[in-house]
A and B are shown apart, each in its own frame.
Chain A
Amino acid sequence: MSMLELSQVSKVYGQGAAEVHALREVSLAVDPGVMVAVMGPSGSGKSTLLTIAGSLEEASSGQVLVAGQDLAAMSRNDKARLRRRSIGYVFQDFNLLPGLTAAENVALPLELDGIGARKAQQAGLRALTDLGLADRASNYPDQLSGGERQRVAIARAVVGDRQLLLADEPSGALDSANGDAVMRVIRTACKRGVAAVVVTHDAQLASWADRVVFIRDGRIIDQTVPAPGPESLLGQDR
């Protein structure tokens, strides 16, 4: 079963002459363990796709399934619970709380969901360890570099049983080495079974994904086909 499945999803803002079609009949399925990059210029609809996938906005038409559950059929409370427990978001600005350590920041979504502090802390530490960030656990955000903060934000997004990671330009403000480190962490999360959707305009960022989907004017116009192994490049005679 796909972790995320969009079928014929459209999103229209405004009415009549002011009508804007942000998404037009977009279909997209992301399986567990897979990273999909949605690549397009600003205004192409890629961020709208992400907020609809994350149930932060509703589609005008079409169907959105998260872990097999139809968002349209869910109550407001059920959707809030789904967001708290199953979906992790990462934005360009890391949104870590400055008064909490990295481990406490990562544990926070679990505590907000009613899990006891000790258990939440343990899960937080585990998420940091899984992503190679254990040595940063007791640092406060202002003791971390921008790249480290973003990696902690990814740990927070996948803490507990969160199986869907939605990231909007996650390395947008970082230099290329830190951007790579962020993408490596997302890859690591995917290897542990997380399904990830990364929206970006940046080809270098997108090229970390298993599949790159191209979006233009609210439509998915194309996608990459699975590549042959890297040996095909290294073996080339120049």
Chain B
Amino acid sequence: MSVRHALLALLSEGPKYGLRLREEFEAGTGEVWPLNIGQVYTTLQRLERDGLIESDEDDEPDSPQKRFRITADGEQELRTWLRTPPDMSSPPRDELVIKVLVALRVPGTDVREVIQAHRRYLVELMQQWTRIKEAEADRDLALGLAVDAELFRLDAVVRWLDAADGRIKRTAVEPPGRRDDLPRLKRKAGMAP
């Protein structure tokens, strides 16, 4: 998450001191993304330099007691950022996908066993997130949303592994592809170097 826009969001509620901003940023993200205190103050300085926030002139620079408020430009920047979709057009370089594709080519490797090792790890992670959901997520909306996002993301990977498992099982009887299949596949999946 962008510290810059998180701070703008917190200031959109009203003027705040630097120290309070740090505390609220940590609380507002359900403590899932801890933040270096230094990052808050340097980011505040940059936001002020860019005219997106302003502070009381008589305060010491860098003081945690310095009070900030958002400017009209800052509000516009925040509105634009909220509605700008992050770039998801090109697939991320996915190490897990690469491992499964490589496993297909390594002689003597049981790919489904490789898949299971990853599946188990992912489900174990999901169990931990679900414990957090069970214990706390209903009391804390931000944490609940963050935990849901993580669970759905991990679930999507497990589903891909399940699909891969099924696909490999169905094609097990067919002869292996040509040697040049792998780079071609990798290019297609956006994973070529």
List residues of chain A with CB under 8 Å of any chain B CB: 39, 41, 176, 180, 184, 187, 201, 203-204, 206-209, 212, 214, 216, 221-225, 227-230, 232-234, 237-238
Q: How far is the CB of A188 from chain B (nearest CB, A)?
A: 10
> Does the CB pair B134–A233 fall under 8 Å?
no
Given A184-B134, A207-B130, A209-B127: A224 in contact with B120 (beta carbons within 8 A)? yes
What residues of A have a CB within 8 angstroms of the CB of B152 in the complex?
A: 204
What residues of B have a CB within 8 angstroms of the CB of A39 in the complex?
A: 123
CA distance A92 to B119 in the complex (A): 25
Size of the chain B interface, CB-CB below 8 angstroms:
32
Contact of B116 among A206, A221, A232, A238 (CB under 8 A): A221
Beyond known contacts A204-B152, A207-B151: 20 more, CB 8 A cutoff: A41-B166, A184-B134, A203-B126, A203-B159, A204-B151, A206-B126, A207-B129, A208-B130, A212-B127, A214-B116, A216-B116, A221-B116, A222-B120, A223-B120, A224-B127, A227-B127, A229-B128, A233-B132, A237-B34, A238-B32
What residues of B have a CB within 8 angstroms of the CB of A206 in the complex?
A: 123, 126
Q: How far is the CB of B85 from chain A (nearest CB, A)?
A: 21
Closest to A203 in B: B158
Closest to A176 in B: B148
> Does the CB pair B134–A187 fall under 8 Å?
yes
Within 8 A of A (CB), among B133-159: 133-135, 148, 151-152, 154-155, 158-159
What residues of B have a CB within 8 angstroms of the CB of A208 in the complex?
A: 127, 130, 134
In the assembled complex, B33 has its CB within 8 A of some CB on chain A: yes
In the assembled complex, B49 has its CB within 8 A of some CB on chain A: no
> Does the CB pair B127–A207 fall under 8 Å?
yes
What residues of B have a CB within 8 angstroms of the CB of A41 in the complex?
A: 162, 165-166
Q: Can you pick out 27 interface pairs between chain A and chain B where the beta carbons lie within 8 Å of each other?
A: A41-B165, A41-B166, A201-B162, A203-B122, A203-B158, A206-B123, A206-B126, A207-B129, A208-B127, A209-B127, A212-B124, A212-B127, A214-B120, A216-B116, A222-B120, A227-B131, A228-B128, A229-B131, A230-B128, A230-B132, A230-B135, A232-B128, A233-B125, A233-B128, A234-B31, A237-B34, A238-B33
Closest to B137 in A: A180
> Does the CB pair B158–A234 fall under 8 Å?
no
What residues of A have a CB within 8 angstroms of the CB of B119 in the complex?
A: 214
> Does the CB pair B155–A204 fall under 8 Å?
yes
> Does the CB pair A203–B155 fall under 8 Å?
yes
CA distance A209 to B131 in the complex (A): 9
CA distance A41 to B134 in the complex (A): 26
Q: How far is the CB of B150 from chain A (nearest CB, A)?
A: 8
> Does the CB pair A233–B127 fall under 8 Å?
no
CA distance A39 to B126 in the complex (A): 14
Per-position binary interface string of chain B over residues 62-92, scored 1 when its CB falls under 8 Å from any chain A CB and 0 otherwise = 0000000000000000000000000000000
> Does the CB pair B123–A224 fall under 8 Å?
yes
What residues of B have a CB within 8 angstroms of the CB of A221 in the complex?
A: 116
Given A187-B134, A207-B151: A227 in contact with B124 (beta carbons within 8 A)? yes
Q: How far is the CB of A29 from chain B (nearest CB, A)?
A: 19
Q: How far is the CB of B19 from chain A (nearest CB, A)?
A: 21
CA distance A227 to B123 in the complex (A): 10
What residues of B have a CB within 8 angstroms of the CB of A222 in the complex?
A: 116, 120
> Does the CB pair B129–A233 fall under 8 Å?
yes
Contact of A203 among B31, B116, B123, B166 (CB under 8 A): B123
Closest to A228 in B: B128
CA distance A237 to B33 in the complex (A): 7
Residue from B120, B125, B152, B166 whose CB has the most chain A CB atoms within 10 Å: B120
What residues of B have a CB within 8 angstroms of the CB of A216 in the complex?
A: 112, 116, 165
What residues of B have a CB within 8 angstroms of the CB of A187 in the complex?
A: 134
